[in-house]
Amino acid sequence: MKVGLLTGGGDCPGLNAVIRAVNQRIHNSGGSCIGILEGWRGLIKCQTRELPISVTEEIISRGGTILGSSRTNPYKRPEVDLPALRENFAKLGLDALVAIGGDDTLGVANRLHNDFGMPMVGVPKTIDNDLNVTDFTFGFDTAVNIVIEAIDRLRTTSESHRRVMVVETMGRQAGWIACFSAIAAAADFAFVPEVPIEMDRCIEVLKRRRIEGKNYGIVVVSEGSKFPNQDEMTLTGKTDDFGHVQLGGISAIVADKIEKATGFETRSVVLGHIQRGGAPSAYDRVLATRLGLHAAELVVQKNFGRMVALKGTKIIEAPLKDGVSNLKNLDLDFYKEASVFFQ
């Protein structure tokens, strides 16, 4: 059995752990894996690499993906790219393909399975934790740990200068990273995309805290947060192959409003791609490994058009379409719990 492996979309810590796990499990059953480079682009262009066990046995601690990634969408130019992709799949002699990605990558895997019966298995990933079906995605825990380490550092400089620091996190239209980071790093306030920005409440909290003796402030803002009655933030004006707008920059606007309303010196920091970099946490290594092993199991059973997911503490399987139908917003119970400290 020959199995193709690809990683698509934004990278995240834990991708290599999945590659290692799938490769080992397939190897144990007498098969082999081949790496498709840079997501769907690698299948369109037939760019691959061999994956002997020696290549993957120690990659669990490495961030990013040894296969490279891209946001290539073969359905954007279907008349050219789909025939090439299918031809290369046959040419490589693949019996199955494990696609590791977010809603876009898994959405393509689902369509290829439905449109052409291609043998696809999906593994969900994203630092944003916004995929349906799965309780948590690997990469998220590492990203939150990176954010809280950054906030711990920003706290000391903010305190020294008696400043307010507005920290912008990733997460697209879901506030998971911002909310978890705000709880774990004791932020004074947090804005998430699921709740329209309440500027007045935030300003009131920051002013009250000064009166009470706290001479600095930490505000977390998720990149997709919106002011009341505002559509998606399009500060950069750029979109990717899947039509998603490139986010970023809301923290500067929030910082400006805070400074003007309070008179407190305020700075903004966009944490950006640092949240996706470096070694995965222990939690993400274990979760990614378990998902990879179960995905390989689906391949061995020839159970295609399926994806693996985390439910509670168990790895389950589900139709690929379930994972890509809707994005999973932040569960507002978490925001309510975080808000107890925004007083």
Q: Min. distance of Cβ 10 from ligand F6P in angstroms? A: 4
Q: Min. distance of Cβ 225 from ligand F6P in angstroms? A: 12
Q: Give catalytic status of residue 128 as yes or no.
A: yes
74 binds ligand F6P (CB under 6 A): no
Strand 32-36 and strand 48-50: the pairing is antiparallel
168 binds ligand F6P (CB under 6 A): no
Per the CB < 8 A criterion, the answer to whether 258 and 207 are in contact is no
Q: Please report, for residues 53, 87, 203, 257, 323, the alpha-carbon distance to residue 60 in angstroms, rounded to integers and kept in the order given.
A: 13, 32, 44, 43, 25
Residue (4 or 39) nearer to ligand F6P, CB: 39
Helices (H), 75-139: 78-91, 103-116
Q: Min. distance of Cβ 329 from ligand F6P in angstroms? A: 14
Instruction: Write the interaction track for ligand F6P spanning residues 260-279; mark x where CB under 6 A is met and - where it is not.
Output: ----------------x---
41 binds ligand F6P (CB under 6 A): no
| C-alpha Rg value of the chain to the nearest Å | 21
Q: Where are the beta strands (DSSP E) in 202-326?
A: 217-222, 266-270, 306-311, 314-319
Residue 185 is encoded by which pair of tokens? 């790093």
Q: Which helix (H) or strand (E) is 166 found in, with range?
A: strand 164-169
Euclidean distance between CA atoms 307 and 24, whole angstroms:
19
Q: Min. distance of Cβ 223 from ligand F6P in angstroms? A: 6
Residue 309 is encoded by which pair of tokens? 């997911």
- Selected binder of ligand F6P within 4, 10, 64, 68 (CB under 6 A): 10
183 binds ligand F6P (CB under 6 A): no
- Selected binder of ligand F6P within 128, 168, 194, 317 (CB under 6 A): 128
194 binds ligand F6P (CB under 6 A): no
Q: Hey, is 147 helix, strand or coil?
A: helix
127 binds ligand F6P (CB under 6 A): yes
- Residue from 103, 128, 141, 284 carrying the catalytic annotation: 128
Residue (113 or 276) nearer to ligand F6P, CB: 276
Q: Min. distance of Cβ 76 from ligand F6P in angstroms? A: 15
Per the CB < 8 A criterion, the answer to whether 306 and 318 are in contact is yes
171 binds ligand F6P (CB under 6 A): yes
226 binds ligand F6P (CB under 6 A): no
> Active-site positions?
128
